[in-house]
Amino acid sequence: MKTKTEKDDDESCQSTNNPSEWKGRTIEIDDAGTGDLVGDTFIGFRDTETGKITFQSVPVGLYNEDNKDDDLPNKHIVKVVIKALRELKHGKGDRILLCRGNCFDLVREYFNENNIYYEPAIIEGKLQDAVEGRFIQHLRKLGVKSMNLTKESGIQRYFILFNWVCRDFPNRERFVKTGFPSWKKKWQKIAMKRYQNSKETKTRKREEIKRRANMIYNLMLEKPISVSKTISKSQ
């Protein structure tokens, strides 16, 4: 259920770096990857009493065009939140500090309908660092090697991932959240064009290397190097 003071502004949200006092246990919930172009999404949970942090994942396939329209990603997030809270043995005396992100809209509805106490929060510190780290770990496994890839989400990370997709578009589009409206409207066409241009450039370079190699070979046939002259000069 919502707190009495809950609003849609920062003043109603507390930071997990300096949370208000609470007599019982607090469970923090945060996400990583929901707004990123590539990869699965991860939901992180932190029991502040024990310091234990766990993760649940949302497959990238749920963010494709067919599933996105049915809100399947957010429905899946509700399921993994319920699962995680059961594993943490969540009780009525616990407080949940829930990230304000839109991906938790259905979670908030579920909490309200089931009289589960939560407070909107700006998740910072240990959990934020851990869940973003888990997402980066996932991207590395997919093959994103850029040294500029960091835990900080935003425009820079978006284009690092976009450029990664462009370099091998046919094989990497399957890792893209294609249900994002901007993908079909704009970025997919740009990615395809960049890949094609890159492919043509590589082909031209290969042809140029082959042409120069043939030219050098033909020159060697016309003017072969005399081994005896080379030896006499060295003496």
- 35-93 residue pLDDT tens: 999 999 999 999 999 999 999 999 999 999 887 678 899 999 999 999 999 999 999 89
- 194-211 residue pLDDT tens: 999 977 666 556 665 666
Domain count within the chain: 2
Verify that 28 and 86 share a domain, yes or no.
yes
Angle 91-93-96 (CA atoms, 0-180°, nearest 5)? Answer: 80
Verify that 187 and 129 share a domain, yes or no.
no
Note whether residue 25 is domain-resident: yes
Average pLDDT across the chain, whole number? 86
- Domain span including residue 85: 10-144
Note whether residue 2 is domain-resident: no
For residues 95-103, give the mean pLDDT: 96
pTM for this prediction: 0.80
- Residue 97: give its domain's CATH number: 3.30.420
Verify that 120 and 205 share a domain, yes or no.
no
Q: What is the pLDDT of residue 7?
A: 40
Note whether residue 3 is domain-resident: no
**What DSSP character marks residue 36?**
-
Note whether residue 161 is domain-resident: no
What's the rounded Cα separation, in Å, for the pair 187 and 178?
10
Note whether residue 168 is domain-resident: no
- What φ, ψ does residue 97 adopt, rounded to 5°? -100, 110
The tokens describing 59, both together, are 């497959």
Verify that 33 and 91 share a domain, yes or no.
yes
Verify that 131 and 230 share a domain, yes or no.
no
Note whether residue 173 is domain-resident: no
